Amino acid sequence: MVIDIGKAIKKLRISKKLTLKDLSDRTGLSTGFLSQLERGLTTIAIDSLENVANALDVDLSYFILSKDNKKE
């Protein structure tokens, strides 16, 4: 199973009508890093992913268990 966490973050961020800047302000992660993450160009440490989950008001497991994250 391949997990596309960046895709899930972007989908959730957009559904909550947040910009990359908004998410950056909420997480302390740079907009450049978040952009690269959403495009699948970089990976994220678990503690940073937890910050993103908290900022988007979801449980950390959302990014692992979401059906959008499973490559078939």
Question: Any residues with CB less than 8 A from the CB of 72 and at least 6 apart, and which?
Answer: none
SS3 13: helix
How distant, in Å, are the alpha carbons of 11, 31, 32, 58, 67 from that of 61? 15, 23, 24, 8, 12
Instruction: Provide the pLDDT for residue 68.
Output: 53
Q: Which fold has domain 5-69?
A: 434 Repressor (Amino-terminal Domain) (1.10.260)
- For 6-50, how does the pLDDT look when each residue is reduced to its tens digit (9 = 90+)? 999 999 999 999 999 999 999 999 999 999 999 999 999 999 999
Residues 63, 3 contacting (CB under 8 angstroms): yes
Domain boundaries, the chain: 5-69
In this prediction the pTM is: 0.84
Hey, CA dihedral for 43, 23, 49, 67, is it positive or negative?
Answer: negative
